[in-house]
Amino acid sequence: MVSMRADGLLRLGTTARVSVAGAESTVAVGLSRLGHRVRWVGRVGRDEPGELVLRTLRAEEVDVSRVREDDDAPTGIVLFEQRLPDVTRVQYYRAGSAGSRLAPADVTTAIEAGTRLVHLSGITPALSPTAREAVTAACDHAAEHDVAVCLDVNFRSRLWSADEAADVLTPLARRARVVVGSPDELALVGGVEDLLRHGVAEVVTKHGAEGAAVTTENGTLDAPAHRVPVVDSVGAGDAFTAGYLSGWLDGVGLAERLDRGTACGAFAVATRGDWEGLPTRAELDLVGSAGTALR
């Protein structure tokens, strides 16, 4: 989507900063900055907002060759309003958008030989029946080609009810190798122990400012969050996911995966915007260097 971040109250009229937002695109940018080859799959309108989305992702070295430009539907928009210093009000305008028209054919051809991981968000199947079919098709195609799947539950109450989400996302979560979510989100798809019983290898719990944990058949490992001044909390969870999956792709241990995830989350909350402040691999160690001038 295109994002508009208001500088003041929308009801009074204000200026706004235009950029790009979206859970999956934030993960894609985060992984790309950490040195991984990434492809983002979706639909945008054949319009100027769509051009901004594609241009931004190309600039971040994310492959958009399989993105479909829709002639008949607009690119979605999201509005951010900083109502209080630590409270952001978000309004979505994507009903009938190009992204909501995602279909199975849009995603299956993007999973090629050599693909190691398919990252899915619980937001996508909430957008429309065809988007729901597309996510299921991606899982099917990944399974046929022995490609690992990561599902971030990412429950959005403005898109559907908890009961609807549970009915759709629980079967998807049980098919994933890695499932990510807050405690409430993981409970929505059966809980940590149930997911492990159904074959999920790693269940990652995001605790926000308190850090994160990963549970496998061997037990649970916890990691604290890095303490940094919070400028904007939007996108922190997706930044964490990007860092964690970067460690997964690199084959490092669980502790290092969590540490990389919390480092990315710290960079995200310390800067305004969903993805703009995400680190490169060379910058990961800067977390904890408060008050230092790099000369």
Question: What pLDDT, in 10s, does the model give residues 75-116?
Answer: 999 999 988 767 788 899 988 999 999 999 999 889 988 899
Split at pLDDT 50, 70, 90, the class of 60 is very high
Whether 265 contacts 240, CB under 8 Å: yes
Residue 68 lies in a domain: no
Greater pLDDT, 109 or 119: 119
| 154 alpha carbon, distance to own chain's centre | 8
Residue 90 lies in a domain: no
Can you state the angle between helices 236-250 and 254-269, rounded to 10 degrees? 150
Residues 273 and 143: their CA atoms lie apart, in Å, by: 34
Residue 243 lies in a domain: yes
pLDDT of residue 272: 85
Which residue numbers are catalytic? 238
Residue 224's identity, in one-letter code, is P
Whether 235 contacts 257, CB under 8 Å: no
Residue 134 lies in a domain: yes
Number of separate domains in the chain: 1
pLDDT of residue 204: 98
Residue 2 lies in a domain: no
Mean pLDDT score, 129-152: 96
Whether 268 contacts 262, CB under 8 Å: no
Q: How far is CA 178 from each of CA 1, 70, 153, 291, rounded to the nearest angstrom?
A: 25, 32, 11, 36
**What are phi and psi for residue 152, nearest 5 degrees?**
-95, 120
Question: What counts of helices (H) and strands (E) characterise the chain?
Answer: 9, 12
- What is the pTM assigned to this prediction? 0.93
Three-class SS state of 71: coil
Residues 101 and 63: their CA atoms lie apart, in Å, by: 20
Q: What CATH number did the domain enclosing 173 receive?
A: 3.40.1190.20
Mean pLDDT score, 57-62: 98
Per cent of the chain over pLDDT 90 is 81
pLDDT of residue 8: 87
Residue 92 lies in a domain: no
pLDDT of residue 34: 98
Residue 201 lies in a domain: yes
Q: Which domain holds residue 174?
A: 22-44+99-280
